[in-house]
A and B are shown apart, each in its own frame.
Chain A
Amino acid sequence: MTDYSDPDFRAARLKKRYQAEKRFRAYGMAAIITAGLILVFLLSSIIYSSLPAFSHHHVRLDINISEDYVATDTPEEGNYLGLVRAALRDHFPQVTGRRDKRALYKILSIGASDAVEARVKNDPRLIGTQISLYVPLSDDIDLMLKGLIDRNLPESDRIVSDRDLAFVDKLAEENRIERKFAFALFTNGDSREPEMAGIKGALAGSLWTLLVTLIVSFPLGVLAAIYLEEVAPKNRYTALIEVNINNLAAVPSIVYGLLGLAVFINFFHLPRSAPLVGGLVLALMTLPRIIIPTRAAFAAIPPSIREAALGVGASRTQVIMHHVLPLAMPGILTGTIIGLAQAAGETAPLLMIGMMAFIVDVPTEVTAKATVLPAQIYMWANNPERAFVARTSAGIVVLLTLLLVVNAAAIYFRRRFEKRW
């Protein structure tokens, strides 16, 4: 039989216990460090590959805004592309052939004339004068200048021809090429040309969609939770409802998309591809994710507070509105914001209602055609142009930033409303 009072036995036991505790700590730390390293690797690789998208090479051209291209009385009908091309041609007097000219034009972006057009429309007095302006180069030239296309490869293996290289080198010699911040990424809607494709349309679409989601799901979710937790009798019907709400939280999101297609679009004839429908679908998906944490927040309020309020003669509604709801607010807001953050990253249900779409215009209302950030990222990832690789990562960075902002808001509100007792 073991002698428990034996000092050696107890020392050995003690040593074993300390070792077990040390091991346990080590496992925990290893798990945290592994998770942290994976996260750092993921984030840094996304940010690194997104960096090229945030800048773009532009060429400075001296543009004669001649009346041959833009009439003084109708500046909106001007041939601005012609203007820019003419300005480029001035630097290469030796280029005369039709094919050579066309090759020369291709070093410019399709959107090269946008800046000129905007300037002239803004100030028609510029017609007849000469302005110096940076216009974007094409995506392939930009990639070459960034070193992402190796110019030392044999010509047949690269997308930029020797002739293009000669054009660019001459402009570079004249110090006309400069790498600038790619404002287009944030000010443009989608485009087939990577250098003109921007996130603004998808960002606006996401925000409109989330606005609809918030307006629909927050009041519905909170009221449902208040009723279930505070008012409804605890019987088998409310138990059934509770089980079903918990199940709804686990329904695959594509199912909500099918539901939205069948109900909102086919039955109610709401517009396709619109943030209104997207927001409604995401609201359905978000509802259980608001109801569950809200109920948990209510359940976490100590019963002593309710008793105190009831004891001085507060009605049930007053107990809820004056005491329980304010105290539950941090939990409710956190649940809501996390539900919204999930909705912001959701793609599958929006597939079904046409929000995975190539849409150039920035949506300005909830019934306008729109796409959302994750859909935009997916579509960019599918585009063949190499410059879209960086654009895709940049889109992810924007989405992650949005989620970061949303989560920071959650933490802020939590702190702001938190009360201790």
Chain B
Amino acid sequence: MKMNESQKVKIKARNVTVHYGEARALHGIDLDLNANEVTALIGPSGCGKSTFLRCINRMNDVIDGCRVGGTVSIDEQNIYSDAVDVVELRARVGMVFQKPNPFPKSIYDNVAYGPRIHGMAPSRSELDHMVEVSLKRAGLWDEVKDRLSASGTSLSGGQQQRLCIARAIAVSPDIVLMDEPCSALDPIATAVIEELMEELRRDYTIVIVTHSMQQAARISQRTAYFHLGDLVEHGQTQAIFTNPENKQTEAYISGKIG
């Protein structure tokens, strides 16, 4: 039953192009991302994987001179249609960034911010509960439960990143986008977050951009390899890493280019 559920397509990208001014960053990407799976986007720097990730919650909208073409559908609804409100979309599609970026507020306020602005917690006790659940899910609760009023920026890098994950899942999104979430962390903090992702994928669809081949192999069910704005290959992670169809993919994952 789990298997069937995981086969359900959550995000459907069709002919997605992105221009930054005159420069084209993505050349017509077609990609399906399944629910309750971790999909890893890999490829050399500047290949467009982060750009593609940012199409899924329309974070590219805020960049001046950035134009997105094609369609990205979540649950069969094109998120680039006029009917979709971008603020509501971003509440459904959470995002964790490369560098941990907690607000310079307390740990509690960091997590409570999303529920507050969306009016999700009518009472203080419900908000307390939401904060606790989110921090527990992010595996941070035991470390911070006695100092929720301490500043979010006082935590270590790995804790900050888990705080950002807690903040993202506090608004109960369907999808969590992660843009190289471990690149600023040491191996121990990375291991904690990788474990967490395995946990989280039961409830969320996760898309992660990573530069670490090993990480992609460890955590993802599917992998998509990008090169110079093109989607070169996409498939089961195991297949991609053991038996890539494309020469370029093979060269990249074996460390010959990139």
Contacts and interface: CB of A to CB of B under 8 A. Distances in A.
Interface string B91-112: 1001111010111100000000
Contacts of A7: none
Nearest to A313: B91
A421 B102 CA distance: 8
Nearest to A234: B64
A315 B96 CA distance: 18
A313 B97 contact: no
Contacts of A82: none
Interface in B139-179: 153, 164, 167-168, 170-171
Given A234-B64, A421-B153, A312 B171 contact: yes
A419 interface: yes
Nearest to B113: A312
B57 interface: yes
A419 B117 contact: no
Nearest to B98: A304
Nearest to A304: B101
Interface string A314-330: 11001000110001000
Contact of A305 (B62, B101, B167, B168): B101
Contacts of A309: 103, 113
A119 B103 CA distance: 63
A420 B104 contact: yes
A307 interface: yes
Interface string A292-305: 00000000001011
Contacts of A315: 87, 117
A313 B101 contact: no
A233 interface: yes
A141 to B, nearest CB: 64
A307 B87 contact: no
Given A307-B101, A308-B103, A323-B103, A314 B117 contact: yes
Given A312-B168, A313-B118, A304 B104 contact: no
B97 A314 contact: no
B10 interface: no
A311 interface: yes
A313 B103 contact: no
A227 B62 CA distance: 15
A420 B153 contact: yes
A310 B59 contact: yes
A318 B117 contact: yes
Given A307-B101, A420-B104, A313 B164 contact: no
Contacts of B168: 311-312
Contacts of B87: 313-315
Contacts of B102: 308, 421
Which of A302, A304, A310, A318 is most buried by chain B, counting CB atoms within 10 A of its CB? Answer: A310
B88 A313 contact: yes
A65 B104 CA distance: 71
B211 interface: no
Nearest to B88: A313
B114 interface: yes
Which of B88, B90, B103 has the largest number of chain A CB atoms within 10 A?
Answer: B103
Contacts of A314: 87, 113, 117
A308 B90 CA distance: 11
A419 B153 CA distance: 10
A314 B115 CA distance: 10
A299 B97 CA distance: 20
A313 B64 contact: no
Contact of A312 (B62, B99, B104, B114): B114
B115 to A, nearest CB: 9
Contacts of A421: 102, 104, 153
Interface of B: 57, 59, 62, 64, 87-91, 94-97, 99, 101-104, 113-114, 117-118, 153, 164, 167-168, 170-171
Closest 5 CB pairs between A and B?
A313-B91, A304-B101, A311-B95, A312-B114, A313-B90
